[in-house]
Structure 1
Amino acid sequence: MKTIDKENLKKKLDQNAITLIEVLSNESYEKEHIKGAVNIPLEEIGHKAKARFNKDEPIAVYCSNFDCGASPAAAKKLIEMGFENVYDYQGGKQDWKDAGLPMA
């Protein structure tokens, strides 16, 4: 599974070259999320991703922090479904926020 760090993720987001998905609950997303991210909770990722995204489209998933297991699980599921350009942003919401990067 490929991972992406905050610097490369920010660069790709600034270029509109990647789709960013928060895989936490709707409540967590509504409270605060990385600017530009969409929300698809882990338990819904299978059917929603298939309907919304092309399998060759670059996608990064994230959850709350380095200890959170939701984003690796979501990345694994997407890869198993045939998505080819999936990245796990392991640092997640906390790493992004700690770096002073834009939140919504």
Structure 2
Amino acid sequence: MPVRVLDRHEVRRLAEAGAQLVEVLPREEYEDLHLPGAVHLWLRDLDHEAAERLERTRPVVVYCWDWMCDMSPRAAARLEQLGFRQVYDYVPGKADWLAAGWPAEGRSAAAPSAGDVAQRDVLTCRVGQPVDEVLVRMRDAGQAVCVVVNDERVVTGLLRRRTAEARADATVEEVMRPGPATVRAHEPLGPLLERMAKARVRTVVVTDPEGRLLGLVDRTSGEHALDAGHAVAA
């Protein structure tokens, strides 16, 4: 039967229920970052090690890096040939998990990222709302931006306070900046702040792989967090 493909929510549910998570990338990549509790079993070693290291009575979820990596589907197919009957393939892979800001293990797990410093209490608005109403909320909250989202919190635009003040009689859709730049939660903080400074950008939106709002990185707060992290490391 075909190997079932999972999304990250299904992977987490299976892992919590006792499934075995298996990363089939080379060891160096596994040791850098891997899903919590995952074991390393390189694709080339499946034939020699699967029977010793994996339990046939428990589900097995294999993954590699992302959709373009073919190691996990090949590993899943081979495990089935070796007699494992509950095999699943997390095709979106580790990149999808990390991009959503979900926890990981490994030597780089403690490195600061966009998701670590993102402000989660972000002011949001809808395209049909009057700008003057949103402007009141922005002033009350002391916020310089409002992220425009749909009912699923997918980001569709960005409304800045100075723009709202100049067009208070319009709707959000008429004055918002559509298609704002976004980053994923696992974006390394240092290089991100450098790009923001070079582009003279104060804030950047953080979204998950489905485009849903996770938070907002403020450059000043991010720089303070990065400096604090360096001080602790020293």
TM-score by length of 1: 0.93
Query: What is the alpha-carbon distance in structure 2 between the residues aligned to residue 100 and residue 46 of structure 1?
Result: 33
Query: What is the alpha-carbon distance in structure 1 between the residues aligned to residue 27 and residue 64 of structure 2?
Result: 12
**Mapped pair 1:81 → 2:75:** no
Give the C-alpha shift of residue 53 in structure 1: 2.1
Q: Which residues of 2 match residues 16-35 of structure 1 at below 5 A?
A: 17-35=18-36
1:11 alignment counterpart:
13
Give the C-alpha shift of residue 35 in structure 1: 1.3
Q: Which residues of 2 match residues 1-104 of structure 1 at below 5 A?
A: 1-15=3-17, 17-104=18-105
Amino acid at match of 2:48: H
Structure 2 regions of 5+ residues with no counterpart? 106-234
Amino acid at match of 1:53: L
Amino acid at match of 1:30: E
Give the C-alpha shift of residue 10 in structure 1: 0.7
Give the C-alpha shift of residue 60 in structure 1: 0.3
Q: Contact (CA 8 Å) 1:25, 1:41: kept in 2 or not?
A: yes
Structure 1 regions of 5+ residues with no counterpart? none
Query: What is the alpha-carbon distance in structure 1 between the residues aligned to residue 99 and residue 65 of structure 2?
Result: 12
Give the C-alpha shift of residue 36 in structure 1: 1.1
Number of equivalences: 103
Give the C-alpha shift of residue 14 in structure 1: 2.4
Amino acid at match of 1:5: D
Query: What is the alpha-carbon distance in structure 2 between the residues aligned to residue 102 and residue 46 of structure 1?
Result: 30
TM-score by length of 2: 0.43
SS in 1 for 2:89: strand
Give the C-alpha shift of residue 77 in structure 1: 0.4
Aligned-pair identity in percent equals 38
Query: What is the alpha-carbon distance in structure 2 between the residues aligned to residue 84 and residue 14 of structure 1?
Result: 19
From the CA coordinates, give the structure whose radius of gyration is larger. 2
RMSD: 1.0
Q: Contact (CA 8 Å) 1:57, 1:84: kept in 2 or not?
A: no
Query: What is the alpha-carbon distance in structure 2 between the residues aligned to residue 55 and residue 34 of structure 1?
Result: 21
Amino acid at match of 1:11: R
Query: What is the alpha-carbon distance in structure 1 between the residues aligned to residue 94 and residue 53 of structure 2?
Result: 23
